[in-house]
Amino acid sequence: MKILVLNGPNINMLGIREPGIYGKQSFQDLLFLLKDTATELGVEFEQYQSNHEGDLVDKIQSAFGNADGIVINPAAYTHTSIAILDALKSVGIPAVEVHISDVDARESFRQISYAGLACEKAIKGQGIDGYRQAMEYLVFKYKK
């Protein structure tokens, strides 16, 4: 099983950007967590981060036939990108949406999740551990 982990804008700034909201763990800490989780679960993973919407759409499209599951944190594009929603719907790969902070307890504009409309599950407010939970969900539901 191969899982594509996608991260949107500013996720590369973890630990620096608003640590009171997103925590003090760095992007490198997230990468270590993903690697350790994939090893524990016996799956392959690819992580991709971009600050550009079109790059994320291209990466989702390239996952068709190459990934069995997607973990996606669209970050700010969660609330604005119909293109990411359409890409997720186009490939038909099981997807889980992750948000490091509890977006439901934040500003009203963060209550809208376009990408989430194409995801089976959303994990919010669990810090970077939400990525582990998302990977586990996909593995336990879909691993052959």
Q: Which letter does DSSP use for residue 144 in this model?
A: -
pLDDT exceeding 90 applies to what percent of the chain? 81
**Which residues form the catalytic set?**
22, 99
Record the tokens describing residue 101, joined without a space.
């902070």
- The pLDDT assigned to 48 comes to 98
How far, in Å, CA of 134 to CA of 67, rounded? 15
105: pLDDT strictly greater than 70 = no
Using DSSP's 3-state secondary structure scheme, residue 104 falls into helix
